[in-house]
């Protein structure tokens, strides 16, 4: 149900935009998130938004550089990534919750029931 795209290669300081298409499903009142997993590390939270109201949340490591947004008409969530660094190199996953998520839980993997296949982002120095 979730299809992530937009990964690729970038130089440090560059930008990429990821997209997560939800196959037309309406995720109103739910949460959409982006997570990433770098080689040899666990999966970590990157950003999330609540579909209704558009409230956004970010990991400290990406705050001010990444922007999560949505296009209701396209049922798509985006992750605009600017000022990329080699530390941003990872496989990025989009995820959707099955039901409403309280703010205190929105950064937890366990809050999300649906996951995309992942898209690779590689940033060179």
What confidence tens digit (pLDDT) does each residue in 41-95 have? 999 999 999 887 779 999 999 999 999 999 888 888 999 999 999 999 999 999 9
93, 4 Cβ separation under 8 angstroms: yes
**Banded pLDDT at 25 (limits 50, 70, 90):** low
């Amino acid at each position: 149900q979730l299809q992530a795209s937009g990964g690729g290669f970038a130089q440090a300081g560059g930008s990429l935009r990821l997209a997560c298409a939800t196959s037309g499903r309406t995720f109103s009142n739910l949460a959409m998130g982006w997570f990433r997993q770098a080689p040899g590390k666990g999966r970590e939270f990157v950003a999330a938004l609540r579909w209704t109201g558009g409230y956004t949340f970010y990991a400290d490591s990406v705050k001010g550089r990444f922007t999560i947004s949505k296009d209701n008409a396209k049922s798509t969530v985006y992750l605009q990534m600017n000022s990329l660094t080699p530390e941003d190199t990872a496989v990025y996953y989009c995820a959707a919750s099955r039901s409403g998520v309280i703010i205190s839980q929105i950064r937890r993997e366990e809050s999300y029931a649906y996951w995309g296949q992942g898209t690779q982002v590689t940033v060179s120095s």
